[in-house]
Structure 1
């Protein structure tokens, strides 16, 4: 028999790993998920809540087909050999993950299984093109996205994989899922969106029916539901990347104008960014803690603890920055334009190490993916691959005016400003102290002067670069 090990592919449809497991033997496949304490050590309450919801949905999917999802707790390198012995397993199959932590775990699992005479096979499933398949003439990966994108968009994509037939799945009965508290996690402060296979498919259908044609224009406006909101589903694998891409291709075929088609391409470009960062991480696992750029110890980060806490709490006195940080705490998600803005504010205005921001996002984002978040934070901090130039510092006042002109997004997450006119909200850092107190006595004054901090950040990076 074959055992299929689910990790971050919590679905039955368009699952290349599961399909491969089914193809290896005439015997039914035994599906399993392992709560590994080594992995859970890096988890958070909001992500464990999403994980349990996605697993409950996956378990129901198996039960509808007369099977079940086995669940076990313990280090995977101990648990999987034990399950293989119990079920007379010949081989274990799983889908690749690209972080250093995941690969270290997988090496330990492979060694333990092979010591017991159990074969192991891995499948690339989470991205279209596995690391090492899109490369420059010299080198193992691209470090500039535009070059990667040119090859990615022209490279043939695999079609979605059909789900296995019911009789290809083993008639097993799993133990109940552990509770969040049994796994050692508190109740999350955020209420994230639903993360199930059904919710993922519904969201893809909805997004590709109409909003995708406005994506190029709406994606930067946080008050508008103009993004796909698929990131949690891609993170947990409640939908396959091939199914998502196929839906965008069908949308492109239905497009009535060139602008519509360009908008679809703009969204596909975001899928390519996700894959670009996965390739970078696969070849540079050390970038989770080290600057890709190389000038590791030269940047004079200030790391002021009070300013860091104000940023985390959404109490910086810059309304759109605070709205984003409060959305994160409330929903376990943040609009992408605002993610870039709050990251720039932390690393440039506050001159706080990007790793502090990465760690906060890791703990609070429902859609945290190591590759995406490391890549995004190093981009904002001007230390990564294809990073934002160090002298480009987002102006939070201008960003608020441009992308949330009516301050609808700000008011939603910063209720202290609910009765304040939009222009005044955007002018908040420049207002006299007495006027701020009159308008919104419970909302803070700006903790820094953006203009002064911008000049300081540029000077600090120039010094670090030896310019």
Structure 2
């Protein structure tokens, strides 16, 4: 018998690790999940809720096939060898994870299994191309996305895998899943989307049957359901990346116009961004806490606690920014265009360290992935790979007017502005206090002047550059 250790691949179909465990086992395979307290230290209520829902779905999937998911609590370096001994396993297989925390955990598990004489193997699964497989002529990885994208789009992709046969899975009975409170987490304030294998398949089919052909035009419009909403499924692995990519390829084959095909390619480009950041993190695990791009001097972050609190609460007086932060509170998710806006506002208008924003996202996003969020925050903070130049600062008023012209998205998340004309919402910073009080007395005035703060941010970054 072999054990298969699920981590962030909570599915049975198109799972390369599970398939490998079955192919090399002389007997049936028993699936395992470990609630590791070291990993849970970095979790959050909304993600624990997603995790438990995904695990319930995975357990049901195994039970339909006469097996079950073994569930244990404890340090993985103790729990996995203990299970291997209990079930007399010949080997333990798992899928790679590329964060520094995951690699440290996996090294400890590997050492413990080897001490017990149990074989172990990790399998590349969560992205198409393993870190180190797409490289420049010099260096371990690309730091400019456009070069990475050119190779990624032309590189052959693996086909999705079928699930293992039922008789390849062990007839085992697992203990009940612990509750959220038993794991030490409060009820989340956000209500995230459903995170199951069925929900992932349904969303992929729905997106690739129509919205993907309008993705290039609609992806930046937060009031429109124009994005895939697959990020949380890719984070938890309730669908495999090969399944998603194959669905986009079929969509491209069905496309009847060049615009449709270009729109599909625009979405595939976003899949490549996700992979680009995974490669960067794999070779630079320190970027979780350190700037990727160095400056001659430290960036003079202001780090005003009151301004940070207003940003977190969606009370900055900049409607598009506040709508995004309130969407985060409500759903554990933010539209991608608005993620960039709120990050730019924090790091440039408020001149608050990107790490503060990353930490807030880590504690509140259902789809938080270390590589993506570190990459995105350092992009916005002009400290990362292929980052936004420090002198390009998003204007939140112009962005709101361009991407949410009717203010439908803003009003959805800021009820104080219900009934306020769109022009007044987009001109909120220019309205006099009496007019603001007349239109929306409970919504705050802008906490900073964007023009002044833009100039201050540019000067601060130039100072850090030694200019």
- TM (normalized to structure 2)? 1.00
Equivalent residue number for residue 280 of structure 2: 280
Task: Output the CA distance in 2 between the equivalents of 1:25 and 1:190.
Answer: 42
**Alpha-carbon displacement from aligned partner over 1:362-401 (angstroms, at most 9, x marks no partner):** 0000000000000000000000000000000000000000
Task: Output the CA distance in 1 between the equivalents of 2:85 and 2:297.
Answer: 49
1:44-443 pair list within 5 angstroms = 44-295=44-295, 298-443=298-443
Matched residue SS, 2:4: strand
Equivalent residue number for residue 5 of structure 2: 5
How far 1:26 moved relative to its partner?
Answer: 3.1
How far 1:295 moved relative to its partner?
Answer: 2.5
Contact 1:38 1:75 in 2 (8 A): yes
Equivalent residue number for residue 38 of structure 1: 38
Task: Output the CA distance in 2 between the equivalents of 1:64 and 1:220.
Answer: 41
Distance of aligned partners of 1:353 and 1:296 in 2 relative to their CA distance in 1, 3 Å threshold? farther
Distance of aligned partners of 1:154 and 1:135 in 2 relative to their CA distance in 1, 3 Å threshold? same
Contact 1:143 1:385 in 2 (8 A): yes
**Alpha-carbon displacement from aligned partner over 1:134-155 (angstroms, at most 9, x marks no partner):** 0000000000000000000000
- TM (normalized to structure 1)? 1.00
Contact 2:297 2:465 in 1 (8 A): no
**Alpha-carbon displacement from aligned partner over 1:235-278 (angstroms, at most 9, x marks no partner):** 00000000000000000000010000000000000000000000
User: Which shifted more, 359-368 or 290-299?
Assistant: 290-299
Deviating 4+ runs (over 6 angstroms): none
Matched residue SS, 1:103: helix
How far 1:333 moved relative to its partner?
Answer: 0.2
Matched residue SS, 2:93: strand
Task: Output the CA distance in 1 between the equivalents of 2:297 and 2:404.
Answer: 37
Contact 1:290 1:296 in 2 (8 A): no
User: Which shifted more, 297-306 or 284-293?
Assistant: 297-306
Contact 1:36 1:73 in 2 (8 A): yes
Gaps of 5+ in 2: none
Question: What is the number of equivalent residue pairs in this alignment?
Answer: 467
**Alpha-carbon displacement from aligned partner over 1:60-113 (angstroms, at most 9, x marks no partner):** 000000000000000000001100000000100000000000000000000000
Matched residue SS, 1:5: strand
Distance of aligned partners of 1:297 and 1:122 in 2 relative to their CA distance in 1, 3 Å threshold? farther
How far 1:225 moved relative to its partner?
Answer: 0.2
How far 1:297 moved relative to its partner?
Answer: 5.7
Task: Output the CA distance in 2 between the equivalents of 1:426 and 1:271.
Answer: 32
Task: Output the CA distance in 2 between the equivalents of 1:371 and 1:151.
Answer: 20
How far 1:124 moved relative to its partner?
Answer: 0.5
Matched residue SS, 1:390: coil
Task: Output the CA distance in 2 between the equivalents of 1:36 and 1:294.
Answer: 34
Matched residue SS, 1:42: coil
Task: Output the CA distance in 2 between the equivalents of 1:465 and 1:239.
Answer: 43
Contact 2:296 2:465 in 1 (8 A): no
Contact 2:297 2:466 in 1 (8 A): no
Distance of aligned partners of 1:312 and 1:405 in 2 relative to their CA distance in 1, 3 Å threshold? same
Query: What do you get for the CA RMSD once the two structures are aligned?
Result: 0.6
Equivalent residue number for residue 15 of structure 1: 15
Task: Output the CA distance in 2 between the equivalents of 1:287 and 1:296.
Answer: 17
